[in-house]
Structure 1
Amino acid sequence: MENVHTIFQNIMKNADRQWGGFGKAPKFPQSFTIQFLLRYHYHTGNEEAFTQALLSLDKMIEGGIYDQLGGGFARYSTDTEWLAPHFEKMLYDNALLLSVMSEAFQLTGKRHYRDVIKETMEFVQREMLHPSGGFYSALDADSEGVEGKFYTWSKNEIEQLLGEDAAIFCDYYDVTAGGNWEHTNILWVRKSSVNFAAEKEISEDELLKTLHHCKEKLMLARSKRIRPLLDDKIILGWNALMNIACSKAYAATGTENYLQLAIENMNFLLKHFTVNSTEEFLHTWKNNQARYPAFLDDYAFLIEALLHLQEVTGDTTWIDKAKAVTEYVIRNFGEKETGFFYYTAAGQRDVIVRKKEVYDGAVPSGNSVMAKNLWQLSILFDEPEWRQRSADMTASLGNAIVRYPTSFGNWAGLLMEFVNGINEIAIIGDKAGQLRSQVLQEYIPQRVIMSSSSATQGYPLLAGKLVSDKTSIYLCRSYTCQRPVFSVNELMLLIDKSKNQQ
């Protein structure tokens, strides 16, 4: 655990304790680092980690990097305060932030995280979704040749559109006659709705209702503006990240629409990106044509998405596919000497030198995600070689992960998983689906979940389990299971007891 504590300490050396995030401008979301802090708090009770993680999320949510009218996050902030973004909206940023926001909601139950999940999912479905179920790549920053023009406002515009409500709206979102950015206004929040409502001597609900009506009017007006250009490529890996976000948002909120979106998107990917119905995939799709061999990232993110889909649906078809794709990746991307994976497949003719990526950047590295996939699949299918390969990959980067955790954020989370172990949860019985939904809403990081109406051979977590009149929940470690319990509350007590004994 010492290495995990050191990772936390090194993260906090770069933490902005006033405005959230890490480092100086330009500031990127760094979702993996926030996720690490949430999970570190879960395992240790460390309040500093908890505070910094939520501060980072809250300041982004209140900032101009978040579209206060239409939902969704811009790529990064050009300043320390998250006011002025680079207005481009990337699919992958929104996917990664939705994933960590879902964990924050599970952990805290705070309404504004659920609201942001809802608003961002609505943005993605409204502006980034192909009719057949794929997600587009990005929205440009510019419209009419001016960066941010689609998203910014003059005070006069708002006063004409909102009438008597303009004063409270402008006060809340820092809109002034002179502008808060380049002589115009980016909507951002300077005070929490609770504090602002108290100052105005109104209820928070009344304030939020007024702001909601104002935002509807401004959204209608904004819809008549010339829109930023849409990058309508559909990229396999980025879609898989968004698929994971849909599954995690469903798990946290129970919103059925998010689950259906994940299933429809995965069916789209499996239909349009595969080569001759095999485990070989292509990278991008546009105008009814998929092109270019998929990269390691594409495969790694796809496998992770399949693992999440199995957890939220109980359908083992998804992990069977995940295992088959993993076997393909090992054969075609793996380097036997090191256990790592190349970025491109063996035999790809347009590649002179095959490289290996290990740094987690704007998206996690394919190798860090594959290491995590191998770790989880080794449990789901009892594949000790995959477990060892995952451990060896992580151990070989150990010093770099500890010293530079913000460059190895996804690896850092996996290292913590190795240290603390993984909860294996099996739900067996007629009401497995109902109990699964309840379990999913709990904050249980670093776990695998399988559920079925009956014991099922071929999957170690489901095999050999007794089926009783009551649907049973088994909590296991290394396939050694405690006596079954019959409610989520009992399960959480077992997990807490196990965590406290570590």
Structure 2
Amino acid sequence: MPNRLKDATSPYLLQHADNPVHWWEWGGEPFAEARQRNVPVLLSVGYAACHWCHVMAHESFEDEATAAYLNEHFVSIKVDREERPDVDAVYMQATTSMTGHGGWPMTVVLDHDGNPFFAGTYFPEAPRHGQPSFRQVLEALSDAWVNRADEVARIGATLRDHLNQANALIAGTIDVDASVATLATEFDPRSAGFGGAPKFPPSMVLEFLLRHGEREMLGATLEAMARGGIHDQLAGGFARYSVDNDWVVPHFEKMLYDNALLLRVYAGWGTPLGDRVARGIADFLLAELRTDEGGFASALDADSEGEEGTFYVWTPAQLAEVLGPEDGAWAAELLSVTDAGTFERGTSTLQLLRDPDDPERWDDVRLRLLEARARRERPARDDKVVASWNGLAISGLCRAGYVEAAERAADLLWRVHVVDGRLRRVSRDGVVGTPAGVLEDHGCVAAAFVDLFQATGDVDWLTRAGAILDVALAHFGADDGGFFDTADDAEALVARPRDPSDNAYPSGLSSMVHALAAYAAITGEGRYREAAGRALATVAQIAEKAPRFAGWSLAAAQSMLDGPVEVAIVGEPGEERDALEAVARRDPNAVVVVADEPTDEVPLLVGREPVDGRAAAYVCRGFVCERPVTTADELSAALR
């Protein structure tokens, strides 16, 4: 029986296409095969940039003896969690229920109906630190399947019932001030950020703090991350997280969603450092992640040359070799590269703990180091295009002013990912994949199209956003006002996933709230705002008790509390209109529409006339507008 991954579109699955394991892709066929052979199903879930996924693949899935045992006693399914977040969500819930923790690679063993009866994450090739080897686990599970079938059935039924317990959410009112107070108790006053190591960039919480006007925690965290080793000081972009408390040593994989969200918040920070970091992130996206079709690839791997981080770290000797002794010593001091090292084997990550005293010298040094680094073996790229993450990138690029790149990516999503009026989750090389779009795809893409309409004035993007939102409202809604993460006509799993909390990137629910609220602010259609309000009410308890996992919902709540502010700017292009637009776009809670003249195509622009031939700005809330203003100072006062 051959390995069936050779025709997969997922780069992660293709990494396993030459394994001796007889992998199947997720679907009905492998379960039918398992039923016919009367063996259990082994489900392995990971993603292309996952370091420990690579380790387990090398130790176990490339091992002929282990593969032979798997092929005889199991039917094995490999899933890319980024391609099938619905499958990942259901079985990650089972894994955390059974073990108390989760992670990838995720290893779950299922019966013929998809019920899980065993779950774990990484298993070593040999017993280690009290943990059994992967082969020992497989042998015990095969024995249980054959000799303790009643116990297996009982565990599977219990877990299925647990996964399908009533998951209605209790509506409440979000208190944004109370959430800020809770965040303050979790803030790290020494190194910034929230909680302890490992430290993840709290992008969505920072967007909330930006909109709330809480500058202290916001600024301290943005500066600490920008100056730390988690930030690529040479090429821009941020790694996934810091393994330490001080942002020094990252887990080196670079994810599109992290950088898209950070681009947005750094561009909105409004400081010279923020503007510089935002330009670096945008340049990284365009140089490293943009695909030939104009979309953005999912991630860069953490590993190169068989080890993590080797592409990014330096020794003093390497700096001197590239730059010469004088510039090498200067760069080592500036970038905290020491003989002892901050990483492994005497190497250091690059930190920029202060602004260089000679910016021109720094620019020259940075470019020479980049040229030298380019000759190293590069980390692999997962080049599938994920709809929701590209939506986040489009929104970030719009805020940062990279509108042409945003429009090209949006065009790819509309042309390729929308099939028969329904959104698909992934594409690769311009060819759309089969997985259906989940809720987060609909929310992030619709929000991106609304942002692109605001940036370009092209009404087609607003129309397309409305079409995606209508599909989402028709197929994802829950009776309590919230949403499910999969459509009502999607493939049925052992449970219908539903998680309103923000994790590595915005939840489907919070993404939808952003899109619905912004679309309603421009069109004036109350049903979209009402849907946003109902959905937002269902996450009130999370926002109160665990605001770090509700940052995107809180950001939407803050804007909705403020209206959101609707700004219509009308007048001939020129310096006066540009000045008004610049002020309006600095307000993170504002929805901004700019046009040459009033138009009936956009409700917010109906009847909005220039004043005495001058460009004018109308500041509105709920389509109730103050008198128009014609100067930047007047607009600043009106927005305050």
Please give the TM-score of this superposition, normalised by the length of structure 2: 0.70
Partners of 1:298 and 1:492 lie apart in 2 by: 35
- String of CA shifts for 1:9-63, please: whole Å, max 9, x gaps: 100111011111100000000111112222222xxxxxxx312211111111111
**Alignment counterpart, residue 233 of structure 1, candidates 384, 393, 405:** 384
- String of CA shifts for 1:285-322, please: whole Å, max 9, x gaps: 11332111111111110001011111111222211111
**Alignment counterpart, residue 215 of structure 2, candidates 35, 50, 72:** 50
Does residue 1:78 correspond to 2:246, yes or no? no
Structure 1 counterpart of 2:226, which letter?
Answer: I
Partners of 1:359 and 1:96 lie apart in 2 by: 16
Structure 2 counterpart of 1:349, which letter?
Answer: E
1:118 — aligned with what? 279
For 1:263-278, list aligned pairs within 5 A: 263-276=407-420, 278=421
- String of CA shifts for 1:90-123, please: whole Å, max 9, x gaps: 0110000000001112xxxx32222211222111
1:481 — aligned with what? 625
Cα-Cα RMSD: 1.9
For 1:41-440, list aligned pairs within 5 A: 41=213, 49-105=214-270, 110-163=271-324, 164-189=326-351, 191-193=353-355, 204=357, 207-250=358-401, 258-276=402-420, 278=421, 280-291=422-433, 292-335=435-478, 337-431=479-573, 435=577, 438-440=580-582
Larger Rg: 2
Partners of 1:2 and 1:290 lie apart in 2 by: 39
Assess, with a 3 A threshold, how the Cα gap between structure 1 residues 36 and 294 changes in structure 2: closer, same or farther: same
1:480 CA displacement? 1.6
Aligned structure 1 segments of 4 or more residues deviating by more than 4 angstroms:
none
1:139 CA displacement? 0.6
Assess, with a 3 A threshold, how the Cα gap between structure 1 residues 13 and 137 changes in structure 2: closer, same or farther: same
Is residue 340–residue 356 contact of structure 1 (8 Å, CA) maintained in 2?
no
Is residue 293–residue 412 contact of structure 2 (8 Å, CA) maintained in 1?
yes
1:432 CA displacement? 7.8
Assess, with a 3 A threshold, how the Cα gap between structure 1 residues 2 and 294 changes in structure 2: closer, same or farther: closer
1:456 — aligned with what? 599
**Sequence identity, in percent?**
31
Structure 1 counterpart of 2:368, which letter?
Answer: K
The gaps in structure 2 that reach 5 residues or longer are 1-172
Is residue 580–residue 631 contact of structure 2 (8 Å, CA) maintained in 1?
no
Does residue 1:5 correspond to 2:172, yes or no? no
Is residue 249–residue 342 contact of structure 2 (8 Å, CA) maintained in 1?
no
2:197 — aligned with what? 25
Partners of 2:636 and 2:331 lie apart in 1 by: 43
Structure 2 counterpart of 1:21, which letter?
Answer: G
1:438 CA displacement? 4.7
Partners of 2:495 and 2:378 lie apart in 1 by: 41
Assess, with a 3 A threshold, how the Cα gap between structure 1 residues 10 and 235 changes in structure 2: closer, same or farther: same
1:352 CA displacement? 4.0
Structure 2 counterpart of 1:239, which letter?
Answer: N
1:169 CA displacement? 0.7
Is residue 89–residue 139 contact of structure 1 (8 Å, CA) maintained in 2?
yes
Is residue 524–residue 622 contact of structure 2 (8 Å, CA) maintained in 1?
no
Partners of 1:2 and 1:444 lie apart in 2 by: 22
Partners of 1:119 and 1:214 lie apart in 2 by: 16
Partners of 1:320 and 1:436 lie apart in 2 by: 25
1:494 CA displacement? 1.4
Tell me how many residue pairs correspond in the alignment.
464
1:330 CA displacement? 0.9
1:466 CA displacement? 3.2
Partners of 1:421 and 1:4 lie apart in 2 by: 15
Partners of 1:54 and 1:269 lie apart in 2 by: 34
Structure 1 residues 221-230 or 376-385, which shifts more? Answer: 376-385
Partners of 1:448 and 1:111 lie apart in 2 by: 24
The gaps in structure 1 that reach 5 residues or longer are 42-48, 198-203, 251-257, 497-502
1:40 — aligned with what? 212
Partners of 2:381 and 2:260 lie apart in 1 by: 17
Structure 1 residues 375-384 or 294-303, which shifts more? Answer: 375-384
Is residue 237–residue 284 contact of structure 2 (8 Å, CA) maintained in 1?
yes
Structure 1 counterpart of 2:241, which letter?
Answer: Y
Partners of 1:361 and 1:158 lie apart in 2 by: 38
**SS across alignment from 1:451:** strand
Structure 1 counterpart of 2:522, which letter?
Answer: L
